[in-house]
Amino acid sequence: MFQAGTFVSQHFSLERLADGVYACIHKPGGGAYSNAGIVDLGDRTIVVDALQTLAAGRDLRRAAEALFGRPVETVVLTHSHSDHWMGASAFDAGTALLASPATSQAWARMGPEIAEDMQNPAMWEEWLRGTEEQLRTEQDARVRAGLEITISHIRHTLAERAEFRPRYADRTFEGTLAFAESTRRAELRSLGRGHSDDDAVLLLPQEGIAFIGDVGFFDCQPFLGFCDLDLYRAHMHFLQQADFQVLIPGHGPVGGKEALALQREYMDVLEGLVCQVVQRGGSLAEALQVPLPETFAPWLVGGMNRFEANVRYLFARCGGKVPETE
């Protein structure tokens, strides 16, 4: 019989959470760039999110099929961001893609644009050369780590660009979908707009396990660039009040409510610091220099671009004027 401990992928590690429930956690340097899940419903297998690249998606499919000896029936997409969706193209038409209507519509807008960009190798090669040149001279270790991540992403994209074809949702669900015919209680719930156009979570009440997509960023900065922060916080509050002790985030290690609380603290602290700059009439450039508490300093390693995006969002939210070019 296939054992999870014997499965090896350069893109993610496979972690057993309960009988028939596995988390797939992104490995640095690999092509996953996000997390996924594999769940046995007794008579069928579902996968939660699909990672960013075809290579990672193929390993995800291989793991799921080997674990339970059957094809994957459904891939559940928690939201529309490409690092959770693009690997779905590694699954054939026998596997249905399931998402909320808002998520499906958002990916229907983004998918063709991404596919078109991937057909322009000159753009990617120029980006690669520029990033490698910047890496040669950059002294800030936090920025260097981010540049290395970008270089890895570009190389994965160039390797796959000729064969990538986006897949779109085959089915949609409204509100809450219970997998009632399975031997395991499982509930797919749309939380509405928050981190993205619509954030969905897969809940396993008997096991106290929740796959929460990008409602969760553990031991790393959440991305606020396209969010509604008030609604995002409401999603986090829902999970903190619910009876789920094991949370699989979209990014970072498996954690619990304490990890979610620390993520919320990052949001609150950074918003407070940025709003102070706005209130005293400071500029965006000044806001980008605010020092985070030491607790969050390690989160900046490889994440300075995300930090900038978050500060820009919060600067505008606090009433500051964000220059079009800065």
User: Which DSSP symbol is given to 255?
Assistant: B
- Domains recognised in the chain with CATH numbers: 4-109+165-255 (3.60.15.10), 120-160 (no CATH), 267-317 (no CATH)
In this predicted structure, what is the pLDDT of residue 183?
82
The predicted structure's pLDDT at residue 323? 86
Structure tokens at 291: 């020092």
Verdict on whether the full-model pTM lies above 0.75: yes
Please give the pLDDT value at position 163: 92
> Could you list the pLDDT tens digit for every one of the 326 residues in the chain?
456 567 899 999 999 999 999 999 999 999 999 999 999 999 899 999 999 999 999 999 999 999 999 999 999 999 999 999 999 999 999 999 999 999 999 999 999 999 999 989 999 999 999 999 999 999 999 999 999 999 999 999 999 998 999 999 999 999 999 997 778 899 999 999 999 999 999 999 999 999 999 999 999 999 999 999 999 999 999 999 999 999 999 999 999 999 999 999 999 999 999 999 999 999 999 999 999 999 999 999 999 999 999 999 999 999 999 987 54
Cβ 88 vs Cβ 57: under 8 Å? yes
Q: How far apart are CA 204 and CA 167, in angstroms?
A: 27
- CA-to-CA distance for 117 and 55, rounded, in angstroms? 19
Pick the closest to residue 24 from 74, 78, 60, 76 (CA basis): 60
Give the number of other CB atoms < 10 A from CB of residue 323: 10
Give the three-class secondary structure for 187. Answer: strand
Half-sphere exposure of 206 (CA within 13 A, CB side): 9
Q: Which residue has the tokens 């928690």?
A: 78
Kindly give the residue spans of alpha helices, DSSP state H, lying in the chain.
Answer: 54-68, 101-118, 121-137, 141-160, 229-241, 257-279, 284-287, 304-317
Quote the tokens at residue 10.
């350069």
Measure the CA–CA gap between 161 and 194, rounded to whole angstroms. 31
Going by their DSSP bridges, the two strands 74-76 and 45-48 should be labelled as parallel
236: its two tokens? 């986090």
182 in Cβ contact with 43 (< 8 Å)? yes
| Pairwise CA distance, residues 68 & 184, whole Å | 15
Angle at 28 between CA 27 and CA 29, to 5 degrees: 110
Residue 67: the pLDDT is 95
How confident is the model at residue 261, as a pLDDT?
Answer: 97
Tokens representing 270 are 């950074």
- CA–CA dist 61, 139 (Å, integer): 40
* Contact call for residues 37 and 21 (beta carbons, < 8 A): yes
Q: Across the chain, which distance is largest between two alpha carbons, in Å?
A: 65
CB-based contact 203:187 (threshold 8 Å)? yes
Evaluate whether 65 touches 94 at the Cβ level (below 8 Å). no
- For residues 248 and 212, the answer to whether their CB atoms sit within 8 Å is yes
Question: Do 291 and 300 meet the contact criterion of CB atoms below 8 Å apart?
Answer: no
